[in-house]
Amino acid sequence: MPEIKLKIKVLGDSVLRKKAKLVGRITDEHRRVLSQMAKAMYDHSGIGLAAPQVGQSLQLIVVDIGEGLYKLVNPKIVKSRGCQSISEGCLSVPGVCVKVKRAKQVWVQAQDENSRFLEIAAKDLFACVLQHEIDHLKGKLIVDYASFLDKLRIKRKLALLRDKTKAAKLL
């Protein structure tokens, strides 16, 4: 099967605001999508990517903060602790950073691409990235965390992104 280059969806694309569907039985197609997502993440110098960001409304994420690649199916946070505030960027909101308050530690349950059940304990940046990507599966973006002042600061950039998305759909 030929490899298809996945395109990153940006703010204004409706798929980013939909709740992603749970994956039932993990198939070769899911494994192929996860591999292509990892390639897209690396190609864009990202450290995480969720399936909705490439137009797939499925609960799939890939994460690599420099300690190895995780391909996760149906990830969910089962426990969290502490608090941290990190300035986050997002491949789907290019050029925008928002300070986001998140748990400092999380425990995530998921399956890997071979249907094995995992429980991952993560802290600091790894915890932040997992929470960020799991937010995408719920239709939530970093701009939803923006303070009133941040929203004023990034308003013009967000409007330009939405306009580009609308124009691209007309082509």
pLDDT digits (tens, 9 = 90+) for 115-158: 999 999 999 999 999 999 999 999 999 999 998 888 888 888 88
pLDDT digits (tens, 9 = 90+) for 18-47: 999 999 999 999 999 999 999 999 999 999
| pTM across the whole model | 0.91
133 is catalytic: yes
Q: Which amino acid is at 167?
A: A
> Tell me: the pLDDT tens digits for 45-89?
999 999 999 999 999 999 999 999 999 999 999 999 999 999 999
What is the C-alpha separation between 6 and 38, in angstroms, rounded?
Answer: 10
Of the listed 29, 67, 113, 133, which one is catalytic? 133
Map out the domains of the chain as residue ranges.
Answer: 14-170
State the amino acid at position 126 in one-letter form: F
In this structure, which topology does domain 14-170 adopt according to CATH? Peptide Deformylase (3.90.45)
Token output for 151: 């929203």
